[in-house]
Structures are given as structure tokens and as C-alpha cells.
Amino acid sequence: MNSITQQQDCERAVGGFFSQMVERLNGKRDILIPYFNFRRVLKGNIESNVLKEIFKLRYEVYCLERQYLAASEFEEGLETDEYDDCSIHFAAYTLDNNIVGTVRLVQPHPGQEYPFESHCMPFPDFVAPARESVAEISRLVVRKSYRRRRGDSMEGISQDFVEKGSAKTIKPHSSVRRDKRGNSPLLLLGMYREMYRYSRQNGIRYWYAAMERSLARSLEKMGFKFVPIGPQVDYYGPVTPHMADLDELIGRLERENKFLAAWFNDEPIPFWIMVKTMAGNFLGGLRKK
């Protein structure tokens, strides 16, 4: 390749980079996760079409793929339980409206246990926050085709991120990748942002979650510090009950990644931070070519 051709390629790449940056700053696409849309189903909206798609995805993952639950118990191919009508459901969709991920925040009815309490026992000295300030993360899944490799977790976290990732490495992409599944862990991060924003708007400060320790470690790399509140138990595999404080979460993100903190809070992102993060990412890509 001669120097003129290299210069032309570089000029086209730079032009494309800045046009994408302007497009995202103008709000046409999400600045960090441009390939997905997120939808929310509030409590009591049990007839929602989105909710039916969520139940179908859960059936595919929990019953057919993982066989955690017996498929024969759900004749219509929709996995549901007693917590769905007291939950806020979140779903991730591709730009062509295919559901690829889901999660819910459970706020039990008065007198009803949190899901984790049916199989986990907190430490004797654990002091639970006021129930109205807590919700439990539950039924978190990502469609199998949106997990990049065999070693990826059910939640879509790649082995590369587990080994090399951190909150500091999460930045907006400088170009659109053809393989939209290459965004791990951004799909998961997007669902967590939706839960975070709902929680902040509705007086929820704490999250419970019964999860594998490997997932807790991966979430900590993203800035989500989940603290064990009880011993590990065997419940469709080894899980440990955890709790996260959202006040501590945002404080940690503000220290480690100001861009990510602003994105989580839906705050205006300073232009200089945008240019710095995207230009650094863009130049790093050029060096690899």
C-alpha cells in the first residue's frame, strides 16, 4: 500500500470517527451502547407483549438450554413464577426488535420473601436495610447467540473481560463493528443501567442478588461492588447471596471512570471527556492495523 492510499484511508477513518461522535452526541444513538434498545415493564402489567417475549426467552435459557427448570411445567413455552407480578422487568432488544437479554427487580408483596431467602441464609450478624429501600436482581439472562464464545457466562460476560477488563476500560467505540456481539459486557451493563435509573427514581438504594462468585467479581470490575451477606449454597450451581449499595456504586464509578458515571446517571457528558475517550480508542485501533 503506497503512502497516498494510506493517507486517504486515514482521512476516511478520521472523518467517519468524528461523524459518529457527532451523531452520538446529538442523541441519535446511545453513546456507549448504540446497538441495543431497552424496554421496561412495570409491576402489574402482566399482559404486556414485551413481558411475553421475556418469559419466552427465560424458557429458552432456563428450561431448554440450562435445564434448571422442567420444560414440561410450562406448556406454553413461557417461564413464569410467583414473583413476576411484583417485579419490574427490563429487556434488551436489537435494533431490528429481537429480544436478546432480560432481568428483573423484585419487590415482594408484604409478607412475601425475597427470592434469595427461599434458598440462602444470611450471616447471623447481617442487618437488612428497610424493605422499601431494597429490590432483588433476578432472572438475569442473555440469549445464547449473543454470547461470543463457549466460555462466556450465561450473562454474556466474555472471558477476555474477566481476564483483562475493568471499569476504566469501558469506553465508547470509535467505529461500528460488524459483529454486534463483540460488545461484551456492554449488553449486561446496559441492563444494569436501566435497573439503576429505575432504582434511583423510585427510592431503591440497595440490591440483593444471589449469584456465582465469578459473576460478582466480573461486576466488580465494571464498578459494581456486591458484598457477600451469607454463605455459598448449591442452588442450580454454587451461588452466594450478595448486596450492593447504589450510593457506593456511583461514588466508585466517579473515581474510576467519569464517563461511565455520567452515562449511568443520564448526565451531560463533557465534550472534552467525550473527545479524549473516543479519540484514544480510535487511535488505539489505528495502531493495531
User: pLDDT at position 252, please?
Assistant: 87
Residue 130, domain member (yes or no): yes
Task: Please tell me the predicted confidence (pLDDT) of residue 168.
Answer: 67
Residue 8 is assigned to a structural domain of this protein = no
| pLDDT tens figures, 103-158 | 999 999 999 999 999 999 999 999 999 999 999 999 999 998 887 655 566 666 66
Separation between Cα atoms, residue 189 and residue 184, nearest integer Å: 9
* Domain annotation covers residue 138: yes
C-beta neighbour count of 281 within 10 angstroms: 16
Helix pair angle (186-201, 246-256), 10° resolution: 130
Q: Could you tell me the maximum CA-CA distance found in the chain, to the nearest angstrom?
A: 74
Q: Is residue 3 part of a domain?
A: no
**Mean of the per-residue pLDDT values of the chain:** 80
- Per the structure, how many domains does the chain have? 1
pLDDT tens-place string over residues 52-109: 999 999 999 999 998 999 999 998 999 999 999 999 999 999 999 999 999 999 999 9
Is residue 241 over pLDDT 50?
yes
- Please confirm whether the linkage preceding 34 is cis (ω < 30° from 0): no
CA 199 to chain centre: 14
Say which residue, 17 or 212, is predicted with more confidence: 212
- pLDDT per residue over 25-40, tens digit each? 445 578 788 889 999 9
pLDDT of residue 70: 94
pLDDT of 240 > 80? The answer is yes
CATH number (domain holding residue 124): 3.40.630.30
pTM over cut 0.85: no
pLDDT exceeds 60 at position 192: yes
Read off the pLDDT band of 175 (50, 70, 90): very low
> What percent of the chain is predicted at pLDDT more than 90?
48
For residue 5, tell me if it sits in a domain. Answer: no
Q: How does residue 11 score in pLDDT terms, banded at 50, 70 and 90?
A: very low
Query: Can you give the residue range of the structural domain that contains 240?
Result: 33-288
At which residue does the C-alpha cell 438475569 appear? 140
Look at residue 25 and tell me if it is in a domain: no
User: Is residue 213 domain-resident?
Assistant: yes
In a domain, 242, yes or no: yes
